Chain A
């Protein structure tokens, strides 16, 4: 029993370290992408007058859907690149949950596998359900 507890807490610690590393890597990657997109954006449009943000118009499909953002990034559209970085940033905590799910599975902690699955389902619901109501 003692040995089992020990391996459990070891796996726990390992997963925690991995979670920490994933979070940092995600934020750094996202910031770099956003920075690159931002610099290109300023080089191309920096001297243009500032648009009015006083009235809310909403972004068009190019910057609100997965397909739109990917294809714009692919065409090196600076706004698309920034939005791609934004997606990476949003995906970071979601990936963190997936990693925790894997960790709880390794520990055979079924109660927490279930709890983590619920959280993941809510995230999935908001991703799919949030689309154009």
Chain B
């Protein structure tokens, strides 16, 4: 296979990964890693480096639109970024000492968890009674809806912060945005309305991924020839996905894709146990 053929196939594959990631809400990075490792037999460390870049591009591209609409809670994002960036640096350092097969198995497990998370019931209710910590940190906020702004308050800030640290570690270790864990922290622990938690999580992914991306870049895990088609492909796919989402309800698609992802996750775990990475 020539470099040109490899690049074009990878570009098309990354485009589909970006599209799929956007329609399922999982993020393109999560899908690009199995694509690179299982289909192209690329070392998982190169795959992680490229996926981190795709996450940064996706997050920054999407966040710019959400921030403009005023849904993102920037203070909350900034506060929790302490947890995710510290976690991301720890994760990136751990990645060096973790065998690739272990990383692959862990990746498969997180993929399964993420797929399950997209199917669960979402928190729509805004709390009217928050905790003292939340008030002190000025984390309570409001977001616009067609029926006017809705105010919300937060609780369990400490628990949310801890889950965020874990999300950061996994993000640095596996090269994914770990959006599912971030939403879990904000939705289930801190009781933030779904719309705010998803957009704020997306906003944070760029910074979290950048914190570990710097480490990966300096370690030589970022190959320009892989980064180039992956970044452009995933970004293009995510862009198409965002346009499609405005027109169709992805509920049915989501079930189909989640089933596909369960299969991919199983493949990663199986190959990990077979020491194929």
Residues of chain A having any CB pair with chain B under 8 Å: 13, 16-17, 19-21, 23-24, 26-27, 30-31, 34-35, 37-38, 41-42, 45-51, 53-60, 63-65, 78-80, 82-83, 85-87, 89-94, 96-97, 100, 109, 111-112, 115-116, 118-119, 122-123, 125-127, 129-133
Contacts and interface: CB of A to CB of B under 8 A. Distances in A.
A93 B4 contact: no
Given A35-B232, A46-B3, A49-B1, A89 B56 contact: yes
Given A30-B57, A115-B78, A54 B43 contact: yes
**B contacts with A: majority SS:** helix
A16 to B, nearest CB: 5
Interface residues of B, number: 66
A42 B2 CA distance: 10
A83 B89 contact: no
Interface core residue of A41, A93, A100 (most chain B CB under 10 Å): A93
Given A27-B235, A96-B207, A123-B210, A37 B224 contact: yes
A31 B67 CA distance: 21
Contacts of A37: 224, 228
B218 A86 contact: no
Contacts of B61: 23-24, 27
B126 to A, nearest CB: 19
Contacts of A85: 231
B21 to A, nearest CB: 16
B231 A16 contact: no
Contacts of B225: 41, 51, 79, 82
A119 B78 CA distance: 8
20 contacts: A37-B224, A42-B4, A47-B4, A53-B41, A53-B43, A53-B223, A54-B41, A56-B221, A59-B221, A78-B224, A86-B222, A89-B53, A89-B231, A97-B78, A100-B78, A111-B138, A126-B85, A126-B92, A127-B214, A133-B93
